[in-house]
């Protein structure tokens, strides 16, 4: 009645043991001392993974986060404890779809109802580990799967591991009945994956009805790629379809590179009053495990193969993590560049505004002409300009001295320009990020506009610059020809002239001057500007004042850009992260080869 696949895999010692040769430790002694040991290398790897994060929302980020979490779990749950106790009992994790009969099979193999089997799906929600009483202290002490709280009672909490002993089970072998792998319950699915990663041997249970489902095959492929030792159970197979289904499943296994995995085909049958399968149905599987339990070398070979396979899979997995970390850094750089380009553009606009005369229009121009028109300006200047004075004063009707008004006009004109470019830059940076998924995820609406305190800061900037110009005139103008040495007003007037010169800093007079005003004042203003620009000393001062203004504008815009850059900075992995991962993985690889674990099976 009992049928199963390739009988060759089930004769003598378990087939998996036959495939793994003894470790070649004649040349390479197992590493046990110093920093080259596998445990030390794995601790280093764990730290390197812990130092890595993938905060930017990229397609590679979520898989990388999962891989990192999975690797960390596997290091803690299995690799590190297993390496320190290579002789610990072999753990068979029973996995598969819900209702496949996993719990029923485990109960039947240990001949006791240790794990509830039932009609409600899913039944098993928290793992149940059954071992020989002799092995219970190892599993209870919690080296393996340290994150799961040990309990003696059945539990629904996926954070617990129920421990049961079964006298029928020989020492050296334990079964872990896992929740279903394709559960609708998220926690079940995650836990099943974690448990399988802690298995020395995967016992994969599927049914005649479900063996073609996709999820199990995905898991099997990943197990295979990790070099885990796998055995398959095809459960509840109707007698008439047995050959056909077994052949088809064998074919599928071969296609997936799992042709070597022992396959046990269990016929559909009735469970007894205890919910156990008849002994004759489970006999081939029970025998296979009995031989494994009795053969310490075979068990050690299984452990080595799975362990080495898992270690061999570390390097490619870490390579993927390192690439994802690099991508994070590159993306952060690219996002930064979008912001910097927007604010560079803003700075350029201000620079242009200082050369194309646009600041010399409207109010500033009107105030300048008033200012010049009073004649007070000229009293402060040297004779060369002074010669113009009489002529100009005649041309310009006397008006109150509007130095303060000119200064205010300059301030408001500059502030308007700064607010404009800051608004434009914020919008451009916002659009630039919005167009990138990782950028969009970092945005918040306020970033589309300049910072709340920008108007205030712009005003302060201009006032400080104006004060700076006056300081400059005072410091440098003391022994210059054009400043009357004593008059405070001269400093003020020259300062304003310097500011105007900054606004038209090429030695040309903006055309706006002509259109904006009546002929008389235009002549005056123009003449004065020519006189001013003709003066080397004023030009020098104007250049310094211009550089100073642009420096301050740069600082202001940098502060604006910082609102964006702080976000990428917070998200950016350190530049060393990816290299640290790669170095740690290389160290593991070297330690693995030196450890004597390597059988060749893991080097796929
Ligand atoms: N007739 C028959 N019923 C079976 C067989 N194996 C399991 N069952 C029944 O199928 C139902 C599900 O079996 P379980 O052992 O609970 O299945 P499971 O894989 O542990 O399910 P989850 O814990 O939900 O993942 C139970 O009612 C079992 O009694 C079998 O070979 N024949
Ligand atoms: Mg179950």
pLDDT digits (tens, 9 = 90+) for 104-114: 999 999 999 99
Average confidence (pLDDT) over 118-140: 88
**Secondary structure of 127-175 in HEC code, one letter for each residue:** CEEEECHHHHHHHHHCCCCCCCEEECCCCCCCCEEEEEECCCCCCCEEE
* CA distance linking residue 312 with residue 320, whole number of Å: 14
Contact 545, 466 (CB under 8 A): no
420 CB neighbour count, 10 Å cutoff? 15
Q: Is the pLDDT of residue 482 over 80?
A: no
Average confidence (pLDDT) over 47-57: 94
The band of 429, judged by pLDDT with boundaries at 50, 70 and 90, is very high
Q: Is the pLDDT of residue 195 over 60?
A: yes
Residue with tokens 């979520």: 62
Average confidence (pLDDT) over 384-399: 43
Average confidence (pLDDT) over 425-448: 96
Q: How far apart are the CA of 159 and the centre of ligand 2, in A?
A: 16
138 CB neighbour count, 10 Å cutoff? 18
Q: Is the pLDDT of residue 478 over 70?
A: no
453 CB neighbour count, 10 Å cutoff? 10
Q: Which residues line ligand 1 (CB under 6 A)?
A: 98-104, 117-119, 121-124, 180, 235-236, 268-271, 275, 277
Please list, in sequence order, all residues whose beta carbon lies within 8 angstroms of the beta carbon of residue 538, skipping any fewer than 6 positions away. Answer: 482, 494, 497, 498, 501, 532
Judged by average pLDDT, the poorest of 151-160, 461-470, 480-489, 524-533 is 480-489
* CA distance linking residue 153 with residue 186, whole number of Å: 23
Residue nearest to atom 7 of ligand 1 (CA): 101
Average confidence (pLDDT) over 258-272: 93
How confident is the model at residue 377, as a pLDDT? 57
How confident is the model at residue 472, as a pLDDT? 87
Kindly write down the DSSP assignment for every residue of 189-257, as one continuous string: HHHHHHHHTT-SEEEEEEETTTTT-HHHHHHHHHHHHTT-EEEEEEEEE-GGGHHHHHHHHHHHHHHTT
Q: Is the pLDDT of residue 383 over 60?
A: no
Pocket test for ligand 1, best of 95, 96, 97, 117 (most atoms within 8 A of CB): 117
How many residues are recorded in the chain?
A: 604
Average confidence (pLDDT) over 514-533: 47
Angle between helices 186-196 and 214-225 (to 10 degrees): 30
Q: How far apart are the CA of 186 and the centre of ligand 2, in A?
A: 16
pTM summary value: 0.76
The number of CA neighbours under 13 Å toward the Cβ of 243 is 1
Contact 45, 580 (CB under 8 A): no
For 499, counting Cβ atoms within 10 Å of its Cβ (0-12 exposed, 13-18 middle, 19+ buried), the class is buried
Residue 89 parent element (H or E)? none
How confident is the model at residue 597, as a pLDDT? 76
Residue 430's alpha-carbon distances to 168, 337, 438, 554, 562, in angstroms, are 68, 12, 12, 19, 13
How confident is the model at residue 518, as a pLDDT? 38
Q: Is the pLDDT of residue 359 over 90?
A: no
DSSP reduced 3-state for 347: helix
The band of 186, judged by pLDDT with boundaries at 50, 70 and 90, is confident
Please provide the average confidence, as pLDDT, over all residues in the chain: 82
How confident is the model at residue 19, as a pLDDT? 35
- The number of the ligand 1 atom at minimal distance from the alpha carbon of 120 is 24
Contact 177, 105 (CB under 8 A): no
First to last CA, the chain: 38
How confident is the model at residue 341, as a pLDDT? 98
The band of 498, judged by pLDDT with boundaries at 50, 70 and 90, is confident
How confident is the model at residue 499, as a pLDDT? 87
127: tokens are: 């793992």
How confident is the model at residue 374, as a pLDDT? 55
Q: How far apart are the CA of 320 and the centre of ligand 2, in A?
A: 34
How confident is the model at residue 323, as a pLDDT? 96
The number of CA neighbours under 13 Å toward the Cβ of 156 is 3
The band of 187, judged by pLDDT with boundaries at 50, 70 and 90, is confident
Q: How far apart are the CA of 504 and the centre of ligand 1, in A?
A: 89
The band of 225, judged by pLDDT with boundaries at 50, 70 and 90, is confident
Q: How far apart are the CA of 223 and the centre of ligand 1, in A?
A: 24
Q: Is the pLDDT of residue 81 over 60?
A: yes
* CA distance linking residue 604 with residue 602, whole number of Å: 6
The band of 495, judged by pLDDT with boundaries at 50, 70 and 90, is confident
* CA distance linking residue 65 with residue 537, whole number of Å: 64
Residue 264 parent element (H or E)? strand 263-267
Share of the chain above pLDDT 70, in %: 80
Q: Cis check for the bond before 115: say yes or no (omega within 30 of 0).
A: no
Max mean pLDDT range (356-365, 406-415, 527-536): 406-415
- The number of the ligand 1 atom at minimal distance from the alpha carbon of 121 is 24
More confident residue, 241 or 7: 241
How confident is the model at residue 285, as a pLDDT? 96
Q: Is the pLDDT of residue 600 over 90?
A: no
Q: For residue 77, give the DSSP letter.
A: I
* CA distance linking residue 51 with residue 44, whole number of Å: 11
80: tokens are: 């590190």
How confident is the model at residue 365, as a pLDDT? 77
What does the pLDDT look like over 133-183, one tens digit per residue?
999 999 999 899 999 999 999 888 889 999 999 999 999 999 999 888 877
Q: Is the pLDDT of residue 209 over 90?
A: no
Question: What are the phi and psi torsion angles at 5 (to 5°)?
Answer: -70, -160
Residue 226's alpha-carbon distances to 39, 222, 315, 416, in angstroms, are 19, 6, 11, 64
Q: What is the CA radius of gyration of the chain?
A: 40
Residue with tokens 């004779």: 383
Judged by average pLDDT, the poorest of 69-83, 248-262, 354-368, 583-597 is 354-368
Q: Which of 173, 82, 180 is nearest to 133 (CA)?
A: 173
DSSP reduced 3-state for 265: strand
Contact 15, 582 (CB under 8 A): no
Contact 201, 223 (CB under 8 A): no
Residue nearest to atom 12 of ligand 1 (CA): 99
Q: Is the pLDDT of residue 515 over 50?
A: no
The band of 3, judged by pLDDT with boundaries at 50, 70 and 90, is very low
* CA distance linking residue 464 with residue 409, whole number of Å: 15
Residue 429's alpha-carbon distances to 44, 436, 455, in angstroms, are 40, 11, 19
């Amino acid at each position: 009645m009992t049928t199963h696949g390739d009988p060759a895999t089930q004769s003598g010692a378990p087939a998996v043991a036959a495939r793994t040769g003894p470790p070649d430790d004649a040349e390479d002694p197992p590493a046990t001392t110093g920093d080259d040991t596998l445990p030390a290398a794995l601790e280093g790897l764990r730290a390197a993974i812990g130092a890595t994060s993938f905060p930017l929302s990229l397609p590679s980020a979520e898989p990388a986060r999962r891989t990192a979490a999975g690797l960390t779990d596997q290091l803690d749950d299995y690799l590190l404890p297993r390496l320190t106790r290579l002789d610990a009992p072999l753990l068979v994790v029973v996995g598969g779809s819900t209702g496949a009969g996993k719990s029923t099979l485990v109960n039947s193999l240990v001949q006791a109802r240790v794990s509830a089997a039932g009609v409600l799906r899913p039944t098993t929600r928290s793992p149940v580990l059954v071992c020989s009483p002799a092995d219970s202290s190892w599993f209870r002490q919690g080296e393996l799967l340290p994150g799961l709280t040990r309990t003696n009672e059945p539990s629904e909490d996926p954070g617990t591991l129920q421990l049961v002993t079964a006298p029928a089970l020989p020492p050296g072998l334990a079964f872990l009945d896992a929740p279903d792998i394709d559960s609708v319950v998220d926690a079940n699915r995650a836990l099943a994956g974690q448990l399988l990663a802690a298995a020395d041997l995967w016992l994969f249970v599927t049914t005649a009805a479900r063996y073609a489902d996709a999820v199990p095959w995905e898991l099997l492929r990943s197990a295979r790629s990790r070099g885990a030792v796998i055995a398959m159970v095809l459960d509840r197979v109707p007698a008439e379809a047995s050959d056909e289904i077994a052949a088809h499943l064998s074919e599928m296994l071969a296609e997936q590179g799992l042709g070597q995995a022992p396959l046990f085909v269990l016929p559909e049958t009735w469970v007894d009053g205890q919910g156990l399968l008849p002994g004759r149905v489970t006999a081939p599987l029970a025998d296979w495990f009995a031989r494994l339990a009795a053969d310490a070398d075979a068990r050690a070979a299984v452990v080595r193969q799975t362990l080495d396979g898992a270690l061999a899979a570390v390097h490619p997995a870490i390579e993927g993590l390192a690439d994802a970390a690099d991508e994070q850094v590159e993306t952060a750089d690219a996002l930064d560049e979008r912001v910097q380009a927007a604010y560079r553009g803003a700075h350029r606009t201000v620079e242009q505004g200082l050369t194309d005369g646009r600041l010399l229009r409207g109010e500033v121009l009107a105030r300048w002409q008033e200012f010049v028109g009073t004649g007070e300006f000229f009293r402060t200047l040297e004779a060369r300009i002074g010669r113009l004075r009489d002529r100009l004063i005649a041309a310009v009707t006397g008006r109150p001295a509007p130095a303060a008004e000119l200064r205010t006009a300059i301030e408001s004109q500059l502030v308007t320009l700064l607010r404009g470019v800051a608004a434009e830059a914020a919008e451009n940076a916002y659009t630039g990020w919005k167009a990138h998924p990782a950028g969009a995820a970092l945005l918040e609406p306020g970033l589309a506009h300049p910072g709340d305190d920008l108007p205030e800061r712009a005003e302060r900037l201009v006032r400080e610059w104006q004060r700076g110009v006056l300081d400059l005139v005072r410091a440098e103008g003391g022994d210059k020809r054009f400043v009357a040495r004593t008059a405070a007003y001269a400093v003020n007037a020259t300062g304003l002239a310097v500011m105007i010169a900054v606004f038209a800093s090429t030695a040309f007079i903006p055309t706006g001057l002509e259109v904006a005003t009546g002929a008389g004042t235009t002549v005056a203003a123009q003449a004065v500007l020519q006189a001013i620009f003709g003066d080397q000393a004023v030009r020098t001062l104007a250049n310094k004042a211009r550089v100073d203004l642009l420096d301050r504008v740069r600082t202001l815009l940098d502060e604006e850009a910082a609102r964006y850059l702080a976000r990428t900075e917070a998200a950016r992995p350190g530049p060393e992260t990816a290299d640290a991962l790669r170095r740690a993985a290389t160290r593991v690889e070297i330690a693995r080869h030196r450890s004597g674990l390597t059988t060749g099976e893991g080097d796929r």
